[in-house]
Amino acid sequence: MEDPNHKLLIELERVTSERSTLKAENKKLRKENEELRSALEAYESHKKHHQNAPHCELERSKERL
C-alpha cells in the first residue's frame, strides 16, 4: 500500500510548482498592466494638451473636415 504522506508530498510539490508559475505570470501581467496604464495616461495628457493648445487649432480644423 502506498504511503499517504508520499501522495501528499507529490501533490504539495505539484501545487508549489503551479503557484510559482502563476506568481511569475502575475508579475509579468502586472508589469504589462503598469506599462499600458502609463501609456494611456501619456496619451490622455497629450490629447488634452492638443485640445487646449492654440497652435493645435489647425489640427482641430482638419479633424472637423
What is the structure's pLDDT at 23? 98
Instruction: Dig out the grid coordinates for 33 from the structure.
Output: 498592466
pTM for this one?
0.62
Query: What does the domain layout of the chain look like in residue ranges?
Result: 4-64
Question: Positive or negative CA dihedral for 7, 8, 9, 14?
Answer: positive
d(CA 40, CA 46): 10
pLDDT 10s per residue in the chain (65 long)? 689 899 999 999 999 999 999 999 999 999 999 999 999 999 998 888 767 766 666 665 656 55
